[in-house]
Amino acid sequence: MRFTPSIFGKLLEPIKRRQFDSLVARHAGDAYVKSFPSWNHLLALVYAQFSAAVSLHGLEAGWNANSQHHYHLGSGRLVRSTLSDANKRRRLLSSRRPSAGWQANWIGRRDATARKW
């Protein structure tokens, strides 16, 4: 039988899995993680956003209702307690202080763009 990607899979196509994995490795995003890698966490959070899930129970029920479609995404069933633990333990990128180099680069680009007009 021929494989046809799901709509959710098509929405995730712009996210390059290899690039995502290299970023996770560079920032040690999966350090001390045994069963719920960052890729699965990202998939769950994106699904929660698109499905407008208002609770972990609703997210779990919606995700697991179509679990046969998650094989090609590299993910499996979702467990509420695992997702809750991952949300508590993983650091947010926004909570990290940006480096001075990043700020200087961003300000330089903004000033260069302003000068063009």
Mean pLDDT for the chain overall = 78
Residue 113's pLDDT is what? 55
116 compared with 83, residue with greater pLDDT: 83
Residue 31's pLDDT is what? 83
Q: In this structure, what token pair is assigned to residue 42? A: 């990202």
Which residue's structure tokens are 């508590």? 88
What's the average model confidence in pLDDT over 51-66? Answer: 89
Whole-angstrom distance between the N-terminal and C-terminal Cα of the chain?
55
- Whether the model pTM is above 0.75: no
- Look at residues 30, 91, 87 and name the one whose alpha carbon lies nearest to residue 59: 87
* Lowest mean pLDDT across 12-26, 34-48, 63-77: 63-77
1 compared with 66, residue with greater pLDDT: 66
